[in-house]
Structure 1
Amino acid sequence: MMIVEEVKNKDQIREFLEFPAQLYQHDKNYIRPLNKDIEEIFDPNKNKFFKEGECKRFLFKKDKKTVGKVAVFIHNHYEQKQPTGGIGFFDCIQDQQTANFIFDHCKKWLLERGMEAMDGPINFGERDKFWGLLTEGFIEPLFGMNYNFPYYKDLFENYGFQTYFEQLCFTRPIFAEVSRVFTIAYERNKRNPAISAQPMKKNKLEKFAKDFTEIYNKAWACHGEGKQLEEVKVLKMFNMMKPIINEHISWFVYENEKPIAMWINIPDLNQWFKYLDGKFGIFEKLRFLWLKQFKKNEKMVGLVFGVVPEWQRKGIDGYMIWEGTQHLRKHTDFKVTELQWIGDFNPKMIKIAETLDTTVTRKLATYRYLFDRNKEFERHPFL
């Protein structure tokens, strides 16, 4: 008989965090996320989505042994064609019956709150972390990226989940030849005295937060489910990122003083965090600082790329990429860059990635399950 426990006390929280580590203990590619990064998602004092949403966590036990876990949630910012809830942080033994029980439990919880569909695995928060099910590329995950066994795909699809969209990750060696398209764009734009490129500096975060906000809101917020960013929140984010900002790998382009493009990258923190076993206390923080100082990190991650509409299709992306690449080759140890996931509904960004002569190294899927099984399923619309 399956027992369902809502996660409320310290022992249950500990079990929620420890179960994946036990499940993946023999998987050499698994990197345990930091406990604090997961717990902050479920803390109403730290996650703004609790203001207009609801989230619960559950453990599933059989014969007093944990066999699965999940989080299920709703929030008003997740605007879809029909009222849609989410499930995330799903882990399960390799047993379809157990997975079906978990999915049925989530479906019932969401139906009671007026939902007509559930997406998963997604995050009770922004899309930049813990979003999607890994379906190809079972290699070490990037920081904040979901990792799972290959059999999870069958667990979802056998239940009836369908792919709402795929998330593609593109990889490229830093020292590989840059596409001729970009070098031509670089040569053309560098002759324009009004155009300049600047790396992001830690001592000017207010300036770059302002410029980031302006570019992002012009380039991306008008698309799909995008939201306008506020400068004060971007600055807060930049200040939080300050300890791990590498001043050689994030770039902005200006027309005179006006920001027109950005390319934001960070080191892959998992190359250091994989030695911390999910903990980040005083000892682990000291160890992280030591690792950061003395252990080379050879992988960087592309987070955001944007060009304001009036400068799109004018080669400014090629100018920025080639300018930044020449610089970081000289001043960093990075050997590989991976573009954080790009949705298959975004052909413009996919085209840019392909022009960079990248290779798709992993795919994740955001699944959707419609409660009305007679309703026609639709994939995510193209941007």
Structure 2
Amino acid sequence: MKLIEVDSKNLEQAFLKVHDHMNRGNPNWIKPLDKDVLSVFDKTKNKFLQQGEVIRWLLQDENGVFVGRIAAFINRKYKNKGDKGPIGGIGFFDCIDNQKAADLLFDKAKQWLAERGMMAMDGPINFGDRDKWWGLLVEGFHEPIYNMNYNPPYYQNLFEKYGFEVFYNQICWSLDVANAENQLSSKFYESHANYFSDPDFKVKHLKKNKLPEFARDLSTVYNKAWAKHEGNKEISPQHALKLFESMKPILDEKLIWFTYYKEEPILMWINLPDINQIIKHLDGKFGIWEKIKFFFLKTFGKNRNFVGIVFGIVPEFQGKGVDYYMIV
């Protein structure tokens, strides 16, 4: 077996196809859009490349078949609590069920990172924000949401036998909203009854014709609820408005909710339709024909899934059941 650095368009396409090959037989796998993966390695689209480094390799067997891939990267701003030194990252790992093959990929990434002063190797993670391509799937192999990692179950064994240990568990919960009344505990309805009768509290969903107003509300709640957490920054109303504008093509007004106390925003819940339910019909492409198909399926098809993007409640109202009131 030999390792080949990805340094051409042809090898970049091979890099994409390795992931397809490892997952193609799984009926729940959804092929990611090629453009979403490639944007991670594009200096014009990934801001982290301005101060970081990235490299990709393919693993080729004796018959010339590509049987694995991996990316290694250095994000100078990436830190984990309790770190004793700089940490490098790996991601976009795919490999046949062969420990020797996996070790070759891990060793190559480890060597590259060590040569650049990294003291540890974290992965699989994204060379960018944590809302994409983050973590190793070890349980719940149902259809992934948009830009969520998906891998065969045997990957856990490849990582653990090499020496990787769990840093933290990232858990995704789901709920059948159509039957929510049968799944929510009574405390949700008790809280709802208490706040519903109080005229100082009200709940409303987003209106597309009032985006600047809701952008200000998002900024207010986020900055109070999240901005002081490690690694987070404040969001200005202008930035929040840009976020809403970027969501417009898929935004559903009744999936974005805010709660107010005496007209001041105190709680938000931002959800979006899961566009992976459309993307699974596009085979990874997003050219003119796929965009037309996307629009048609979005407009006339049925999307039964939505996904939570961010939930926030200002500190003075945390633990008081206001979130239960809003959810009901």
Q: TM-score, normalised by structure 2?
A: 0.94
**Does the 8 Å CA contact 2:268/2:312 hold for their aligned counterparts?**
yes
Structure 1 residue runs without a partner (length 5+): 323-383
Give the superposition deviation at 1:160. 0.3
| In the alignment, structure 1 residue 132 sits paired with structure 2 residue 140 | no
Partner in structure 2 of residue 31 of structure 1: 30
Counterparts of 1:1-383 in structure 2 under 5 Å?
A: 2-63=1-62, 64-80=64-80, 81=83, 82-174=85-177, 175-177=179-181, 178-322=184-328
Query: Match of 1:164, SS?
Result: coil
Query: Match of 2:325, SS?
Result: helix
Change (3 A) 1:50 1:230: farther
Q: Find the aligned partners of 2:239 and 2:8 in 1 and give their Cα distance.
A: 32
**Does the 8 Å CA contact 2:22/2:152 hold for their aligned counterparts?**
no
Q: Deviations over 1:43-87 (max 9, x none)?
A: 111111112211112212122211111111111221221311111
Give the superposition deviation at 1:200. 1.5
Q: Find the aligned partners of 2:195 and 2:76 in 1 and give their Cα distance.
A: 43
Q: Find the aligned partners of 2:95 and 2:234 in 1 and give their Cα distance.
A: 37
Change (3 A) 1:3 1:106: same
Q: Deviations over 1:61-119 (max 9, x none)?
A: 12221111111111122122131111111101110011111111111111111111111
Query: Match of 1:183, SS?
Result: helix
Query: Match of 2:248, SS?
Result: helix
Q: Find the aligned partners of 1:265 and 1:246 in 2 and give their Cα distance.
A: 8
Q: Find the aligned partners of 1:309 and 1:69 in 2 and give their Cα distance.
A: 44
Query: Match of 1:238, SS?
Result: helix
Equivalent position amino acid for 2:288 in 1:
I
Change (3 A) 1:235 1:47: farther
Change (3 A) 1:271 1:103: same
Equivalent position amino acid for 2:76 in 1:
N
Deviates more, 1:218-227 or 1:300-309: 218-227
Query: Match of 1:44, SS?
Result: coil
Q: Find the aligned partners of 2:201 and 2:327 in 1 and give their Cα distance.
A: 14
Give the superposition deviation at 1:310. 0.8
Query: Match of 2:216, SS?
Result: helix
Q: Deviations over 1:178-216 (max 9, x none)?
A: 321111111111222221112122222222222212211
Equivalent position amino acid for 2:278 in 1:
W
Change (3 A) 1:203 1:40: farther
Q: Find the aligned partners of 1:307 and 1:173 in 2 and give their Cα distance.
A: 23
Say how many residue pairs are matched.
321
Higher relative contact order (CA 8 A, sep 6+): 1
**Does the 8 Å CA contact 2:136/2:151 hold for their aligned counterparts?**
yes
Q: Find the aligned partners of 2:240 and 2:60 in 1 and give their Cα distance.
A: 41
Give the superposition deviation at 1:164. 0.2
Give the superposition deviation at 1:122. 0.5
**Structure 1 vs Structure 2: percent identity of aligned residues?**
50
Deviates more, 1:228-237 or 1:267-276: 228-237
Q: Find the aligned partners of 1:42 and 1:301 in 2 and give their Cα distance.
A: 26
Which one has the bigger strand percentage? 1
Query: Match of 2:235, SS?
Result: coil
Q: Find the aligned partners of 1:206 and 1:124 in 2 and give their Cα distance.
A: 31
Change (3 A) 1:294 1:69: same
Q: Find the aligned partners of 1:74 and 1:227 in 2 and give their Cα distance.
A: 21
Q: Find the aligned partners of 1:256 and 1:279 in 2 and give their Cα distance.
A: 48
Q: Deviations over 1:276-325 (max 9, x none)?
A: 00001110011111111222111111121110001112211011111xxx
Q: Deviations over 1:306-346 (max 9, x none)?
A: 10001112211011111xxxxxxxxxxxxxxxxxxxxxxxx
CA RMSD of aligned residues (A): 1.4
Equivalent position amino acid for 2:14 in 1:
E
Give the superposition deviation at 1:169. 1.2
Partner in structure 2 of residue 353 of structure 1: none
Structure 2 residue runs without a partner (length 5+): none
Change (3 A) 1:231 1:89: farther
